[in-house]
Amino acid sequence: MASKLGVNPRLVVGTAVLIGLAALYWALMETGALSIFSDKRALREWVGQLGFWGPLAIIAMMIAAIVMSPIPSGPIAMVAGATYGPVWGTAYVVIGAEAGALLAFGIARLLGFEVIHRWSRIRPMLDWLGKGRSQTGLMLVVFASRLVPFISFDAVSYAAGLTPLAFWRFLIATLAGVVPTAYLIVMFGDVLITADSRGLTVVLILISGVTLLPILARLVWTRHA
């Protein structure tokens, strides 16, 4: 029936997801629950009180933070590390971040890819990006962006969904990039929670440097080889 009426099922699903996310964000804002995401100590106390449900809350909050830009993901990762330690904290953060990134990628792919592909000026570039070598390049861009905490995780996920990057390539690039960054943030969870804004910035810069070091070393080695 939907196809006979000319309704695109993918558009319906994507729109429904967006409406659901908007409703969820409105509910969080109206109830005041949104403010807890920016208060690392209050967030840690709340997660600690959840007991068995704490890890599920970390994963759900990470998904929400990736899909809904106004929600910061950094404090959630810090709390995960301070509460569950570097190993399990990293696992929960990675699961949530990966799921959120895939959801954001899917929303952009459902709602925006076909629209952008109709633009005659952009279509040649999209066709070029769809080729094998360009696909690898897109993977490297996604991977490198995951290594820098200052680059918007959600913006990259949505933008990648608008490109011809294959879903499985995006999944692998995101996973490979998010694991080391998440581990370092989670490992310093206690320090980051008690740090002021200046100290937090310094630590995040150091984390970016450590995670990007292998890429920079590879570039230098390739240039002098």
Q: Please give the pLDDT value at position 98.
A: 96
pLDDT tens, position by position, 85-135: 889 999 999 999 999 999 999 988 888 777 777 666 666 666 655 566 678
pLDDT band at 55 (very low <50, low <70, confident <90, very high): very high
Asked, for residue 67, whether it belongs to a domain, the answer is yes
Q: Which amino acid, one-letter code, is at 16? A: A
Asked, for residue 1, whether it belongs to a domain, the answer is no
Asked, for residue 118, whether it belongs to a domain, the answer is yes
Q: Please give the pLDDT value at position 173.
A: 94
pLDDT tens, position by position, 162-173: 888 899 999 999
Range of 144's domain?
9-224
Q: How far lies 193's CA from each of 33, 54, 139, in Å?
A: 19, 18, 32
Residues in the chain: 225
Distance in angstroms (rounded) separating the CA atoms of residues 220 and 218:
5
What is the pLDDT averaged over residues 175-183? 90
Cβ neighbours, 10 Å, residue 123: 12
Asked, for residue 20, whether it belongs to a domain, the answer is yes
Asked, for residue 42, whether it belongs to a domain, the answer is yes
Beta carbons within 8 Å of 43's beta carbon, 6+ residues apart: 36, 37, 75, 76, 79
CA-only gyration radius of the chain, Å:
19
Domain count, the chain: 1
Exposed e or buried b for every residue in 184-208, given b needs 16+ CB within 10 A? bbbbbbeebbebeeeebeebbeebb
Asked, for residue 203, whether it belongs to a domain, the answer is yes
Q: Please give the pLDDT value at position 59.
A: 95
Helix 167-187 / helix 197-224 crossing angle, nearest 10 deg: 130
Helix 54-67 / helix 74-111 crossing angle, nearest 10 deg: 50
Asked, for residue 179, whether it belongs to a domain, the answer is yes
Q: Which amino acid, one-letter code, is at 33? A: A
